[in-house]
Amino acid sequence: MMLHSLTNLQSISQIIYTLYHRKHAPNEDVIITQFSDQQIIKTEKTQPFDATIFFNTETDIIKAIIYSHSDQLVSALECLSHLKVIGERFASNNLIRGEKDTLISYIAVLNRAIIQWGYPTESAFQLHNELIQEIELTPRFLDFFQVIREITWYYFKVVQNYRITTFLPLHQRIVKYVKEHITENITLDDIAKGLNASKKSLNPAFKKEYNYTITQFIRQTKIDTAKELLIASDLTLLEISNLLSFSTTTYFVKTFKEITGLTPNYFRHHFFDRHLHL
């Protein structure tokens, strides 16, 4: 879905340009830099392919991903964007095949790097296969380097998330898991499996830090989320109940009242009353 969406960026940018300037947009790759009268777009300038620069830049990208250094990744991608990585043979004969082969090779390099760092091999190859399938199904790339950027940042976030969920203290990992899966019917078995932890170790580690159980935290977090939905949306109690995986609307209302002392409807209609915030 991400790759398919990216193919529309150029046409969208051209429409915006046309509306803003009241003249036809240039038919070339552009990057939106800032919305001002002085400088709105700039054309990408590419340099001839240099193997040494490409290898060093690729190495910098890998290091930035592995060590979660976002600033270094921005710089490395900026350098890569100026290199002409698609050969002249592909440009004249079969550009789209050249672009796809380049992306597939790039993904293979990133995949091997994160596996060597310690990312689970099975998960890495699943990621690899899903991305390649998307690439092969994409008819054309209107902004080739934007696709490279998106793939790179996707790997960055995957590794960053794995680092957090693997190396954070157990109680913090539990909090993160609950918040990310709050719309589900979360059980201790789910948490243990998701965090690759012993089920018996969960509550002792959590209660030692927070002085309440994981089940209590799940209930409280669901109700906190329900409060946000009651204030910021027009969802019905049934819809909120279903969204947060309560067994019935009655049980949702009962839980909400036990924790807040109010019914959901009263909370929604009187949220701005001063007495609720005293």
What is the rounded CA–CA span in Å between residue 5 and residue 91?
A: 23
pLDDT at res. 49? 66
**Confidence grade of residue 166 (pLDDT, cut at 50, 70, 90):** confident
Q: How far apart are CA 193 and CA 56, in angstroms?
A: 39
End-to-end alpha carbon distance in the chain? 47
3-state secondary structure 98-128: HHHHHHHHHHHHHHHHHHHHCCCHHHHHHHH
Bridge partners, residue 30, by sequence = 43
User: pLDDT class for 93, splitting at 50, 70, 90?
Assistant: low
Rg over CA atoms, the chain: 25
Nearest-CA neighbor of 215 among 237, 253, 189, 239?
A: 189
The yes-or-no verdict on residue 167 having pLDDT over 70 is yes
Q: Does residue 2 surpass a pLDDT of 90?
A: no
Cα(110)–Cα(112) distance, integer angstroms: 6
| pLDDT tens for each residue of 107-154 | 999 999 999 988 899 999 999 999 999 999 998 888 888 899 999 999
User: What predicted TM-score, i.e. pTM, was given to this entire model?
Assistant: 0.52
Reference 89, options 78, 97, 79, 100; nearest CA is 97
In sequence order, what are the residues at sequence separation of 6 or more whose Cβ sits closer than 8 angstroms to the Cβ of residue 95? 86
Per-residue pLDDT at 276 exceeds 90: no
Q: Is the pLDDT of residue 6 over 60?
A: no
Task: Name the packing angle between helices 199-210 and 170-180 (round to 10°).
Answer: 100
